[in-house]
Structure 1
Amino acid sequence: MTRSRLPASLAASVALSGALLASLLPAASRAADAPALAEVWGRSTIPLGDPAFAADGRLVTSHHPAFATAERVSVFAAPDRLEPYPDAGWNAGPSGPDHFDSVQGMHTDSKGVMWMGDMGERETAVPKVVGWDTKANRLVKTILLPPPATVPASEPQDLAVDETRGLVVLADEATGQGGDGSQGALIVVDIASGKARRVLQGSRGVVPEDRDIVVDGRHLQRLDAKTGKRAPMRVGADGIALDARSEWLYFGPLNGSSVYRIRMADLADASLKPGDLEGRVERYAARPNAGGMMMDADDNLYLTEIEHRAVGVIPAADRCYRRVATSPDMLWPDGLAAGPDGMVYVTVTQLPLAAPFDDGDMKARAPFLVMRFKPQPIGARATCG
């Protein structure tokens, strides 16, 4: 993630609001092992998706496909004002190599290239990966992901970028077109050649557990627009994160009690047979149902705790999950991004109130929030719990 400086107008807002928050929080809230109270940084009139910072420090966001917004990708021109990103043309259909359809996962690499995963869900288009140079403001590459890299149920969700090997890896939750997540997989994309491989389909770590998602006492169900039937929400591979050395890739389903990992060297080895590759997947740690993932330079793995309006972390030192930030306004924290100001930014989607998850009735209401918190030192624990 780029660490470029914020524009002066935003930098002043960052410094002032961060100092104000620190002065207002009681000491106990700022203790190393106590969850921080996340603050509101930005407000949007339209639903949000995942965040990523451009090279100039501006926050870019996708818009969750469940809300079917006219906008596909936007940039915060100010904490309360969005503009199309990179321009209006990319946000106007029809879907194609030079137009967005339904973007979700985003990640900016060290060169300032923002890689965006496009599900193609809106128009049942071929999913794709788009690389946009946020410094030069130009297209780097569009890589289409036709079968066999994708299946009819494919919904490539979040993504990670391995700059060492020139790869993009997408987590395919496999809940499109009535899918139940059982075809969850990872998609490994070679940036130079554009070739993509579907791996680990149906394996542990990429398929959902039979474990309900419960938000505010309600067991979340999903409405199938084609059949009109409802079923408990089951989502495959969702969150994904790569460590700073490009050694280990971490991932897991939305419905799941564990985080899994695999060595990137193994994932990049196209000669490995499917069974051999599956055998190299490791269970890393216990966790609650969780969505977005982000790993810092010290191998602390942050996760959005979708059921409890919180963000948690699994430190490498003890692999014990604990909450690090909460807010009553954090209804379905989704994506995470490390800001150039040292804060962690969290998009809040209100997803349980979107029409597909609420009897077809859209109950989510503006403002849709971007929240943030400052990471604190994490002490090791002797035992988890």
Structure 2
Amino acid sequence: MNWPNLSLSRRQVAIAVCTCLVLIGFHFHSPHGASAKSSTNQLEIVAELTQGAEVGNIAVTADKRIFCSVHSFFGNQNRAIEVLDQRNWQIYPNSDWGKAPDASPPNWSGLNNTLGIQADGRGNIWFLDNPNPAFPTGRLIAWDTRRNELHQVIYLPPPVITENAFLNDFAVDAKHEAIYIADTAGGPDAALIVVDLKTGLARRVLQGSPNTVPEDIDIEIDGRVISLGETPARIGVNPITIDPAYQWVYFGAMNGRSLFRIRTSDLLNQSLDEQQLKQKVQRYGDKPISDGITADSAGNIYITDITANAIGVTNAAGKYQILYQDDQKLSWPDGLAIGPDGYVYGTVNQLHKSPSLNGGNNDAIAPFLIVRFPALAPSSVGR
């Protein structure tokens, strides 16, 4: 037997096998290049919801319960729901709190106009409520999902919010007992709001900075420029999330091509003035015109790519790549959240067809979707 030839054959086989394994791993796990675009059969439909459940943002708890805000742009009175299964949902937390309030005493129950919703990993669901003319203060409302009772209310009065405030989304910092809010504020006054959960005190930061105001670019979907009223929409800081280590907050304008980040330690440092804080903001990478984002432990920021009917990712090198694209399943993907099962969950709501963004006409047709796909790296609930 010719041993030298056999040895060479084994070496060749080993090299070939290793090469195949590397290529397979690259194909399914790399968020870069042509191989990053995953098969759409990995994009699962979790739920198909009826009228009245025009979902906005989403939160998934550690025990895998799914909660969503209901987008007020569609004009119904529901404000938040729990998704029970593939077809069924119920108003959440109850008929008093899960709908728009009928009256406005200082201690009212009910949600005015809620988009932001987050799980904190401790059994609480947080709602971010906007002001209205009868009650000119925002609120953060925490509901204990295990005990089914109100846990905490934090008020956000002027001047923490401005007259044109639109409290859109937020990130919960469970390590530092803080919440970071994206206030689109009509565009030019867009800012972040830092809330101390122990004291309830809040500060408005980075207002009108290049990192929070919108860029002068159109939101064009299906050949139509999306307008708010009679003018093309220009929406400031909206997508916002926090990494699983609670070290970085990621954010950007909806009408913007840049994803930024800032350390939580800098946002919480009250000795920094505005100019010093602006200098702490870093450009993390590219992003599309987007609504929601979430993060994993490898620095991947998942992004709803609303003009492409897609969901993509910006990786740790700052490069953006579409992961999933589907004109039907992803017609305005809105909010994202990490579940306890290694999946990223998202809402799809056809928001560009809502009356507020469609000249007063409601052309959205149920079902409104909850989708999910496997994360590229581990994360944790509360993103």
Q: Give TM-score scaled by structure 2 length.
A: 0.84
Counterpart Cα distance in 2 of 1:91 and 1:106:
12
2:50 paired with 1:39: no
Could you list the per-position Cα deviations for residues 168-217 of structure 1 after superposition, in whole angstroms to 9, with x for gaps in the alignment?
11100113xxxxx1100001111111111111000022100001111011
Residue 275 of structure 1 aligns to a residue whose secondary structure is helix
* Runs of 5+ consecutive residues of structure 2 not aligned to the other structure: 1-25, 31-35, 379-383
Match of 1:167 in 2: 178
CA 1:81–1:151: 2 relative to 1, 3 Å: same
**Alpha-carbon shift at residue 69 of structure 1 (Å):** 1.9
Q: Which amino acid aligns with 2:44?
A: E
What are the equivalent positions in structure 2 for 1:1-385 lying under 5 Å apart? 32=30, 33-37=36-40, 38-45=43-50, 46=52, 47-92=54-99, 93-94=101-102, 97-121=108-132, 125-175=136-186, 181-223=187-229, 230-316=230-316, 318-329=317-328, 330-376=330-376
Residue 137 of structure 2 aligns to a residue whose secondary structure is coil
Kept after mapping to 1: 8 A contact 2:307/2:332:
yes
Residue 307 of structure 1 aligns to a residue whose secondary structure is helix
Kept after mapping to 1: 8 A contact 2:57/2:336:
yes
**Alpha-carbon shift at residue 104 of structure 1 (Å):** 0.7
Q: RMSD of aligned C-alpha atoms?
A: 2.1
Could you list the per-position Cα deviations for residues 8-36 of structure 1 after superposition, in whole angstroms to 9, with x for gaps in the alignment?
xxxxxxxxxxxxxxxxxxxx996751233
**Alpha-carbon shift at residue 136 of structure 1 (Å):** 2.0
Could you list the per-position Cα deviations for residues 124-167 of structure 1 after superposition, in whole angstroms to 9, with x for gaps in the alignment?
64211111122222211111111111001111111101122211
State, as a whole percentage, how many aligned pairs show the same letter. Answer: 36
**Alpha-carbon shift at residue 122 of structure 1 (Å):** 8.5
Counterpart Cα distance in 1 of 2:148 and 2:118:
16
Kept after mapping to 2: 8 A contact 1:43/1:80:
yes
Residue 168 of structure 1 aligns to a residue whose secondary structure is strand
CA 1:102–1:326: 2 relative to 1, 3 Å: same
Counterpart Cα distance in 2 of 1:282 and 1:100:
35
Counterpart Cα distance in 1 of 2:149 and 2:253:
33
Rg larger for: 2
Q: Which amino acid aligns with 1:43?
A: E
Residue 291 of structure 1 aligns to a residue whose secondary structure is strand
Residue 148 of structure 1 aligns to a residue whose secondary structure is coil
Kept after mapping to 1: 8 A contact 2:58/2:68:
yes
Counterpart Cα distance in 2 of 1:31 and 1:277:
35
Kept after mapping to 1: 8 A contact 2:63/2:340:
no
* Runs of 5+ consecutive residues of structure 1 not aligned to the other structure: 1-27, 176-180, 224-229, 379-385
Kept after mapping to 2: 8 A contact 1:130/1:143:
yes
Q: Give TM-score scaled by structure 1 length.
A: 0.84
Counterpart Cα distance in 1 of 2:224 and 2:367:
22
Kept after mapping to 1: 8 A contact 2:136/2:157:
no
Counterpart Cα distance in 1 of 2:162 and 2:376:
41
Q: Which amino acid aligns with 2:284?
A: Y
Residue 43 of structure 1 aligns to a residue whose secondary structure is strand
Kept after mapping to 2: 8 A contact 1:241/1:251:
yes
Counterpart Cα distance in 1 of 2:285 and 2:156:
31
Counterpart Cα distance in 2 of 1:121 and 1:333:
27
Kept after mapping to 2: 8 A contact 1:247/1:263:
yes
Counterpart Cα distance in 1 of 2:162 and 2:190:
10
Residue 143 of structure 2 aligns to a residue whose secondary structure is strand
Counterpart Cα distance in 1 of 2:132 and 2:324:
32
